[in-house]
Amino acid sequence: MTMDPRVIGVVGAGAMGAGIAQVALRHGHKVVMGDTNDVAIARGRAAIEKAFQREVEKQRMTDDQAASAMAMLTLADTSRGMDPFAGCQVVIEAIIERLDIKQQSFRALEDVVSDGTILATNTSSLSIASIAGVCDRPERVLGVHFFNPAPVMPLVEIVPGLRTSPAVVAEARGLVDGWGKTTVAAADTPGFIVNRIARPFYSEALRVYDDGEADMATIDWAMREIGGFRMGPFELMDFIGHDVNYLVTESVWTAMYYDPRYKPSLTQKRLLEAGLLGRKSGRGFYDYAEGAAREVPTTDREAGERIFHRVLAMLVNEAADAVHLRIASAPDVELAMTRGVNYPRGLLQWGNAVGPERLLGILEACHAASPDGRYRPSPLLRRCVERQTPLPT
């Protein structure tokens, strides 16, 4: 483990903050991890120490390396201010997804850090421009979005704001690349790449269910068995938690001016309102109580193919639109969805394998049945069909 002279600050000692701190420590940085909650700080430190101990047990670190890494961690109570981050060259904020609290934190950070310090937010869906807009030096603010758990998940979305300096983007991306992560560049739009493009995996599965086309177990079976996904959408929503998954969907929908393409489902909202959050609460779409009977899917291959291709058509359409709207390059879209959410294939490549014309036909048929704009085809998808060219990958 080579020492890196840059000191990394992490604001927030929750699961994400502690995970980011662990990554930085593992790559030879001194790290200042701060939080306003003493319990969170203690829990975060314990999680990092436990993770390093597992690394020792798996012979990926020595005892001395683990001890040295922990010795480079400084814990800080930030309830009285951000002074502990004064000596940091990079500060990554990983706190609650509330714009007002993030803005307050960035204003406070600017009062104590040096002019050359990079300020990054780990937000998954909030506007970088809004966070940077309260800063005196917005050119040094950007999004550096890790996926949970940060030490394990390889993808990091790098998101410049409208006024972020290209040099800051290059330095931040180089730093994270040096941590062994796969970085992709995303425009500052709701959901960035992954949380925007992945929405139909959940929302279209819910629409199939709400339309009475199939039950949840059958939809999950179709996406696993025919689509090759590791988990079906209802299983995955229960795993993520509806307090997270639904709120991301609602955030993207409202930020996109209530575009029907991103409209949430009342079925999921009712679970959230009832406190049925999924695995973490013992019940969500499925009952996780000991001995609870699991729903049995209808394993009709033809029906399963229809379900899978309907959801896939929406996913590919969203990926094509991301390229069309210059949210990300085609290669970065493919990387983001395979490395960020472990899709079996890049969506654009998958769309070419199934056939853009076939997917356009599915979207047009759905639009004819529900002409509210939800199923409008991406101009890029339609253009590729008209010109008989493949989607860019």
pLDDT in tens, 296-326: 999 999 999 999 999 999 999 999 999 999 9
Whether residue 195 lies in the annotated active site? yes
Whether residue 157 lies in the annotated active site? yes
Question: Which of 195, 203, 245, 352 is flagged as catalytic?
Answer: 195
User: Own/partner pairs for 142-147, CB < 8 Å, 24+ apart?
Assistant: 142/118, 142/168, 142/169, 142/172, 143/186, 143/188, 143/192, 144/92, 144/120, 144/172, 144/176, 145/186, 145/192, 146/16, 146/19, 146/20, 146/94, 146/122, 146/181, 147/194, 147/340, 147/341
pLDDT tens-digit readout, 166-221: 999 999 999 999 999 999 999 999 999 999 999 999 999 999 999 999 999 999 99
Whether residue 27 lies in the annotated active site? no
Whether residue 57 lies in the annotated active site? no
What's the predicted TM-score (pTM) here?
A: 0.93
pLDDT tens-digit readout, 320-366: 999 999 999 999 999 999 999 999 999 999 999 999 999 999 999 99
* Side-chain-facing half-sphere of 122: CA atoms under 13 Å: 28
* Side-chain-facing half-sphere of 25: CA atoms under 13 Å: 29
Work out the pLDDT band at 294, boundaries 50, 70, 90. confident
> Could you give the CA distance from residue 269 to residue 28 in angstroms, rounded to a whole number?
44
Work out the pLDDT band at 147, boundaries 50, 70, 90. very high
> Could you give the CA distance from residue 307 to residue 357 in angstroms, rounded to a whole number?
18
User: Own/partner pairs for 329-332, CB < 8 Å, 24+ apart?
Assistant: 329/185, 330/391, 330/392, 330/393, 331/393, 332/184, 332/185, 332/186, 332/193
CATH class belonging to 196-387: mainly alpha
CATH 1.10.1040.50 domain extents, the chain: 196-387
Please give the average per-residue pLDDT across 220-238, as a whole number: 97
Is the predicted pLDDT of residue 69 greater than 80, yes or no?
Answer: yes
CA dihedral 94, 97, 103, 109 (to 10 degrees): -10
What pLDDT sits at residue 1? 63
User: Would you give the DSSP letter of residue 298?
Assistant: -
Question: Which of 122, 124, 352, 378 is flagged as catalytic?
Answer: 124
Contact present, 217 and 297 (Cβ < 8 Å): yes
Please give the average per-residue pLDDT across 147-174, as a whole number: 96
Question: Which of 110, 157, 204, 235 is flagged as catalytic?
Answer: 157
User: What CATH homologous superfamily does 8-185 map to?
Assistant: NAD(P)-binding Rossmann-like Domain (3.40.50.720)
Where is pLDDT greater, at 2 or 13?
13
Contact present, 263 and 270 (Cβ < 8 Å): no
Question: Which of 105, 110, 125, 145 is flagged as catalytic?
Answer: 145
The two structure tokens encoding residue 307: 């379900």
pLDDT tens-digit readout, 96-130: 888 999 999 999 999 999 999 999 999 988 999 99
